[in-house]
Each structure stands twice: as C-alpha cells, then as structure tokens.
Structure 1
Amino acid sequence: MKAEPEAQRRLLDLQAIDTALAQLAHKRRTLPELAELEALARQLSALEDERIRAQVAVDDFDRDIARLERDVDQVRTRKDKDQARLDTGRGPARELEALQHELASLTRRQTELEDAELELMEQRETAQATLDELLAKQAAGRETREATEARRDQTLAEITKEAEFRSGARQPLVADLPADLIALYDKIRESSGGLGAALLKAGRCGGCRLELYGTELARIKAAPADDVVRCDECRRIMVRTAESGL
C-alpha cells in the first residue's frame, strides 16, 4: 500500500487519539466507584434482610406483650368484681370464703402475668435496640451510596466530556486521510489490542518493542518513503520519521 509520508505521520496523531479514547473507555468501565457501589448494594441488601428479621422480632414481642396486657386487664376486672362482692359482706360464708381464695389466686395470676410482661418488655427493648442499630447502619449506608453515586456521576461526566473532545478531533483527521490507509489502520487496530500504527524509533518497532536487524531492517531502509511498511513480528504499521534511525 502507498501513502504520503505526511499521511503516515498523521496516523500517529490518530493513534494517540484512539489510545486516549480506549483509556477513557477503560476508565469508565473500571471506576472505583462502580466496585464500591456493588459492595454497598450487597451490604444494604444484607442489612435489609437483618432489618426485616429484627422488625419481625419486635412485632412478635409487641403482639405477645399486648396479649399479656389483655390477660392482665381481664384478671384485674375479675379481681375488682370479686373484691366489690366481697366488700359488701353479703352472702353465705362459704361463698365469701371462695371469693377470698379466688382473689388470692387471681392476685398470683396477675403477678405471674405482669412478671412475664415485664420480661417480654425487657427483651423487646433489646430487640428494638438491635433494630435501631440496623436502621442507623442502613441510613449511613444510603448516605455513603449517594455520595459515591455523586462521585461516579461527576467522573463519568468528565470522561464523557473528554471523550467527546477527542472524538471531535478524530473526525476531521480521519476525513483528511486516505480511506484505504484508514481501513488498514482500523483493521490492524481491532485485531491488535487497539494499536494499529506505531513509530519506528531508533530501529525499534513501537508496537511490539522489538529491535529490527538484518534483512528486515534492510527491507525497511530500501522501501520508498510512500510505502506503508509493517512490522514482520506484530504486523502493525510502522511510521518512519527522522527518529527512526534508518
């Protein structure tokens, strides 16, 4: 393939732009904030599972405490009724004695229920403290996520702006270069890790970094200036300038 030496030299400018665009794309894919957000998502998901379990525990305690409170109220109501009957002093002695026994039994029952309720209330307090701690962790996690998202968005906006600038510089350069040269460059670039053209500097290929010797170097020295030469090793276009050492 033939191309004017200046056109070949301008391939290096194009390669510099494409390398910068590739680096920006890599930076976009590998932002630290992306990994941080993934980790935060896992943490918040785990915290939500814990919060649900903690909330269920608190709700269970509330239900049991409410049940015990109803039982205590029923016992109190029964005690008040029996005490009122006993206070009248009317009725057979056996019946009054039975009321006294029932009052004693109800008092013991009330004490048992109140003790059980107090124990549940203490356990509920512990469960509520666990729930509150988890809610605080969730709130802190969400704040961290929001801050991380803001950093991510800012960095992505900067990357997008720079990529647009580079792409804007690429378009007129590509339009000004021979189509067949661009086609070859793009084909090599796509199959060679993004590097399609490199400077031949001091007898060394800028693509694979191998130094040229013997017949290979002689071939390149003998090639006309408008020949598009390629490295025998990496097959990339080698651009010759005054730095090539030929």
Structure 2
Amino acid sequence: MDEQQRHTALVTGAGRGIGRAIALALAGAGFDVIVNDLPGSDDLAETVDLVRLQGRKAVALGLDVADLAAHDGFVDRAWSAFGGIDCLVNNAGVSVAKRDDILSVTPESFDRLISINLRGPFFLTQAVAKRMVAEPVDDLRTIITISSANVDFASVDRAEYCLSKAPLAMMSQLYAARLAAHGVNTYEVRPGVIRTNMTAIARERYDRAFAEGLAPIARWGEPEDIGQAVAMLASGALPYSTGETLRVDGGLAVRRL
C-alpha cells in the first residue's frame, strides 16, 4: 500500500472479538481506523490504544447500527475524522439471546436480529455509499460485510440468526452491481466457527465437532483469521473481483464423501 495516499477504514462492532481483530489487521496494513461499537462501550478505548500502538491513527465513535435515524450524523462524523472513508467493514451483529427450537422463535427475537444484523448494515452501507459516490477518489474503495457460515448451514436452535445473516450475501452482490462503476468493490467474508464470546456458550460442542472432523482444518477459527482476510481485500489484493464471497471457515463448506 502506498503510504503517500490516504487510507481510512470504518469498522463497526470493533470493541472486541472479530471487530477488534479486523481493526488491528487494517492498521497493520496501513489504514487509519474509525472504530465503532455501542455508545458507552468500555472496550473501544482499548481498541483505539492498540491501533495507535501500530503507529496508525484511531478514533472511536459510538452508534447502535439499528438506530437508522442516527446513521447520517454518524457517517458525517466518521467521514470528517480523517477526511473520508476508503473501506467500510460491516461487522457489528448479535446472536440470539437464547438458543431455542425454531418452533419457539418469538417475533421480538426475530425483529431484534433482523434490525441489528440486516437492516442496520444495509442502511449504513447505503449512507456510506452515497458519500463515496458523491466524493469520488482515484483509488479503489471497498465495502466488506461479515456474514456467517449460517448463510450455508441451518441451525434450527437459532433460526432468526440464520435468517438475519443469509441476506447479507445478496446485499453484498447488490451493492457490488451498483457501485463498481464508482470504483467501489464489495465483498462478503463468511466466517466459520470462530472463537469469540458469542460462540463461548457452545465451546464443548464445537470442541467435540472439530475432534470428530467437522472441518478439514481441524481447529477453531480465530478473530485474527478474519482480520487477515479483511485486510487483504481492503488493501486491493483483488481489484478485478467484486460481489465475491471469501469463506474463512477451515474448509467447513467443502462437500465431502
């Protein structure tokens, strides 16, 4: 990456876990980073410090991505922080409050997941994309959305999570078709089983599954695995690809006989 050029990334849900790992990987790739999490997050300050330790600038901005009315003001602040946004990473998301059978899913749980995991990223991407189109640059820009292996794999004990994540694959393709002419490539990164607070509840289950051959690469994925993938895409390693999915799942989706 040319250090003489401006490279700035906005990462949602960057307080910890995958989001923090993405922010640090982008910093390592030469990006200044705007890190986001819920307003009042106690974790963002540490992410900012870690980015700065890599010699890059960092700013923390609070936002609940489900709060659509706050998007325009948030994007204004993010855009102004370093004079633009070259990469948006849609990472913020939640899992179900309680794993339960699909026959027990409530409208309240369904609406919560759709609001945060799908509706929020769609409209935040729209707001950032409008600014990118209105203020073009010569360099490639990227929009990278973190989805889930549940785009491919049905989990009937968290059906609403699957339904909130699967449409992100199409969202990425739609924005790819719309934005390519404006020098913006979009990608979907599809993690497998990643070691985070979200998956800690199922640790023993996945430990057994990996031991029994769940994936060809027989280990948990780490947040840093996702961070490395995002940094590669954001750095322009695949300039003639857009709308593509990068699975970071240890081969989980490989069909085997």
Q: Work out whether the TM-score is over 0.5.
A: no
Q: Give 1 or 2: higher strand fraction.
A: 2
Of structures 1 and 2, the one scoring higher in RCO (CA 8 A, sep 6+) is: 1
What is the TM-score when the length of structure 1 is the normalising length? Answer: 0.24
The structure that has the greater radius of gyration is 1
Q: Give 1 or 2: higher helix fraction.
A: 1
What is the TM-score when the length of structure 2 is the normalising length? Answer: 0.23
